[in-house]
Amino acid sequence: MVTLAVFVGLDYHDQTVQVCVLDSRGVVLANRSVENDSAAIGQVVHTHGKQAFAALEACNGSADLADELVQRFGWSVHLAHAGYVARIKQNPDKTDYSDARLLADLERVGYLPQVWLAPEEVRELRRLVRYRQQLAKERRDVKLRIGALLREQRLPQPTTCQKWTVAWLKWLEETKELSAQGRWIVDQHLRHLRELSFSIRTVEARLRDVTANDPQVQALMAMRGVGLITAVTMRAEIGRFDRFRTGKQLSRFCGLSPRNASSGQRQADAGLIKAGNPQLRTVLIEAAHRLMRHDPRYRAMGQQMRQRGKPGSVVAAAVANRWMRSLHHVMRTYGSGLPASAPLEAASC
């Protein structure tokens, strides 16, 4: 009996995991809570079968557990899309018992809505990239607080230099027109801003070192309009380009495809689908703006759309969508490198 294949559903929590084991007919062999530890999970499952096909919802920490189960026991482990699993469950009640059983049953019948289990090196890169994103967001928030304080005190700003340039920051440090408390608060914000800028530069240096031998990152950085941050964000969030069958799938994963809102005779789009990681979509939109400045093909595409009355945001999204579809073919075909005919101008952003 222990040589038969079993199907396992794991409802993941920080301290515990609900383990449901089904046989090939869907009969529940076990369904109980154990400690969040691969050895404890394996002990429950191996009582009923050595060959296991397991599923657990993608959440914080679940990828590391899935990888550990694969490495330790050689199981087939899949991550499930939590939102799609919730839609499949036609029951308003929610218990760990029923959630684990549903995951095991979906794995058994082959209807599990899967999420890609990224390898450890990609997950490690994601940690670094998202840490930099957190620092960049914090720096942006500090700048917004400084701007709000200047507006509150109705401080006239110099017109000879742009905001946040070296000259503008020097003016802000030396101006005497702030109130006593306003001056103290601005000094604290400026100190925090310098610390954040140093931390961001440190993270970027580490990202550069970590990806120095990554052929995919180097191939992306060799393209026109793609710099370090864009390349490492794409590498961290997309992982492998060849896991998408078409460029349309890749573009939809990146949140660049328009959402269809057609009904009857009316054919219409309703903006971007807003899927995927928002930071990935942001860097791709920024890359699209650079492409329209430096690449003749995308510059012409942007000009044609503007002549038809399309707003700038729509034009940038369309260029990013077109670029990702063509990039899928290049990166999927050549994987670790680019063809000799590919543009090799590198950007600094």
- Residues 220-257 have pLDDT tens digits of 999 888 999 999 999 999 998 988 999 999 999 998 88
What 3-state DSSP class applies to 122? helix
Tokens standing for residue 179: 């109130």
For residue 343, being part of any structural domain is answered with no
The answer on 52 and 140 residing in a single domain is: no
pLDDT of amino acid 174 = 92
For residue 244, being part of any structural domain is answered with yes
pLDDT of amino acid 3 = 62
- The DSSP output letter for 30 is E
Tens of pLDDT, residue by residue over 118-160, are 999 999 999 999 999 999 999 999 999 999 999 999 988 888 8
Tokens standing for residue 51: 């060959």
Average pLDDT over residues 340-344: 38
For residue 341, being part of any structural domain is answered with no
pLDDT for 2 beyond 70: no
Listed residues 60, 88, 115: the one ending a domain: 115
The answer on 188 and 290 residing in a single domain is: no
Are 230 and 220 spatial neighbours (Cβ–Cβ below 8 Å)?
yes
Of the candidate ranges 259-268, 270-279, 309-318, the one whose mean pLDDT is the lowest: 259-268
pLDDT for 343 beyond 50: no
pLDDT of amino acid 169 = 94
Interacting residues of 349 by C-beta distance below 8 A, sequence separation 6+: 227, 229, 230, 286, 287, 290
The answer on 93 and 13 residing in a single domain is: yes
For residue 349, being part of any structural domain is answered with no
Q: How many independent structural domains does the chain possess?
A: 3
From the list 119, 117, 100, 118, the residue with the least C-alpha distance to 108 is 100
Would you place residue 195 in the very low, low, confident or very high pLDDT band (cuts 50, 70, 90)?
very high
For residue 83, being part of any structural domain is answered with yes
Q: How many Cβ atoms are within 10 Å of 137's Cβ, its own excluded?
A: 12
Tens of pLDDT, residue by residue over 85-115, are 988 987 788 899 999 999 999 999 999 999 9
What letter represents residue 88's amino acid? I
DSSP secondary structure of 216-250: HHHHHHTSTT--HHHHHHHHHHH--GGGSSSHHHH
What 3-state DSSP class applies to 272? strand
- What is the domain range of residue 179? 120-210
Distances (CA, A) of 284 to 31, 137, 203, 322, 329: 44, 17, 20, 11, 17
The answer on 243 and 314 residing in a single domain is: yes
Listed residues 210, 226, 241: the one ending a domain: 210
The answer on 322 and 224 residing in a single domain is: yes
Listed residues 68, 99, 115: the one ending a domain: 115
The answer on 42 and 23 residing in a single domain is: yes
Distance between CA atoms of residues 181 and 162, nearest Å:
25
The answer on 172 and 104 residing in a single domain is: no
From the list 229, 236, 231, 202, the residue with the least C-alpha distance to 219 is 231
The answer on 238 and 273 residing in a single domain is: yes
The answer on 184 and 245 residing in a single domain is: no
Task: Look at the alpha carbons of 242, 345, 278, 207 in this order and tell me if their dihedral is positive or negative.
Answer: positive
For residue 340, being part of any structural domain is answered with no
For residue 345, being part of any structural domain is answered with no
Distance between CA atoms of residues 79 and 118, nearest Å:
10
What 3-state DSSP class applies to 261? coil
The answer on 184 and 125 residing in a single domain is: yes
The answer on 323 and 223 residing in a single domain is: yes
Of the candidate ranges 6-15, 38-47, 89-98, 331-340, the one whose mean pLDDT is the lowest: 331-340
Q: What is the CATH number of the domain that holds 99?
A: 3.30.420.140
Tens of pLDDT, residue by residue over 58-72, are 999 999 999 999 999
Task: Look at the alpha carbons of 8, 11, 17, 20 in this order and tell me if their dihedral is positive or negative.
Answer: negative
The answer on 130 and 97 residing in a single domain is: no
For residue 339, being part of any structural domain is answered with no
